[in-house]
Amino acid sequence: MQLSFSNQNFKYNPSFSSCCRDVVDCAGKLVHRNDTSFFRQDIKDWDKFVDYFERKFKDAEKVNIYSLACSAGDEPYSLAIKLIEKLGEEKAKKYFPIIASDYDEKIIRMANDGYLPILDEDIDVLNFHTNGKISKYFTLADSLPGYIKDMDLFFDDLLKVKPVLRDKVNFSVADATEKCKIINNDNAIILARNFWPYLQGEDKRIKLASDLYKNLGKNSAVVVGNFDDSYGSYASKNLQDTGFVCNPEIYTIYEKYPVNYKHLSNIYIKNDNLLYK
């Protein structure tokens, strides 16, 4: 298989997970799914997402990005690729390294070793977002390590991440509910996406939201995914109840302090409240 642009008429419409794996406990009960994908669709427009970063952090020398519950790494790598492709290596530097973690030791071992399972469809998605330069960032793995074979992953191809991208993300094992307590940065973005329903009980989700609020510094925000407001989980409500403000342009972003909305003609701020004209 070649890592090249396979279909010039390709339309970007992925509806698949590139890393699929069910993790069950010893009684066979589902604990979590590692499902993730490149440029996951619930961030509807990844270019707009990076435009938002550029506006929000235009005066910041360093931006601290955390990906909690990062699974195989598709999420932090999608963001790193988009930042590099849009801003160029030099301007993107202040966003790196992205600090990624997941409590699943096996998935983090694979990410740390620079392996990435994908479906064939991912190749088109990656070429779409890199202007056909997928091979700048990835090569095909020349063998399948035994521990990955034993992981019961569903994938077509195994990629090896090249240093130009691998070096942009630090992976470690951590529980998101603990990791969020040691984040106390200004200019921080916390990707806390698509795992809230796995926290058993509303009180755990309320605690996560309030710990994030307590620990985040100035000009910081949390980003959630579509899955987080499903299966009896209400992450958006939990975040708003603790004081986060929903970004009026990208509804999956929750700001600790309201951003500068001056560029939006239909919005104004009065007594710290966002109002629509």
Q: Which residues bind ligand SAM (CB under 6 A)?
A: 32-36, 40, 69-71, 74-75, 102-104, 107, 175-177, 193-195, 198, 225
C-beta closer to ligand SAM: residue 74 or 211: 74
Least distance to ligand SAM from the beta carbon of 42, Å?
Answer: 8
C-beta closer to ligand SAM: residue 231 or 272: 231
Least distance to ligand SAM from the beta carbon of 4, Å?
Answer: 26
Phi-psi map region of 256: left, alpha, beta (phi>0 left; psi -120 to 50 alpha): alpha
Least distance to ligand SAM from the beta carbon of 148, Å?
Answer: 15
C-beta closer to ligand SAM: residue 154 or 268: 154
C-beta closer to ligand SAM: residue 61 or 165: 165
Least distance to ligand SAM from the beta carbon of 274, Å?
Answer: 26
- Partners of 269 in the beta sheet? 274
C-beta closer to ligand SAM: residue 41 or 184: 41
C-beta closer to ligand SAM: residue 129 or 193: 193
- Integer Cα distance of 249 and 251 in angstroms: 6
Least distance to ligand SAM from the beta carbon of 61, Å?
Answer: 27
Least distance to ligand SAM from the beta carbon of 68, Å?
Answer: 6
